[in-house]
Amino acid sequence: MGLSDNQIKKIMAEKGMPKMTKNTIVEIDKLLAEISQGRKRSYVIDNIENEEGVRCVAASIKDHRGGRDCFS
């Protein structure tokens, strides 16, 4: 969620996205739409996209000022 759409597009153009499961989002437009929703919610969900049977939730943890990620 911390990368810009242009940075994501560049990475996708250079490296692509391997399809790990039937749910893996490999189309750039769909991926950017999902990331946009995550930015609005402040968390993202891996809905069996990387490994069969596994769902994950991720959120950016900010410092006390709401600034940069604590683990960056």
pLDDT at 71: 56
pLDDT at 24: 96
pLDDT at 8: 93
Structural domain includes residue 72? no
| Residue range(s) defining the domain that contains residue 49 | 5-58
Rounded CA separation 44/15 (Å): 21
Structural domain includes residue 64? no
Structural domain includes residue 19? yes
Regions in the chain scoring below 50 on pLDDT: none
Number of domains in the chain: 1
Element containing residue 51 per DSSP (H, E): none
Structural domain includes residue 12? yes
pLDDT at 7: 95
Structural domain includes residue 54? yes
pTM (2 decimals)? Answer: 0.76
Structural domain includes residue 67? no
CB-based contact 16:25 (threshold 8 Å): no
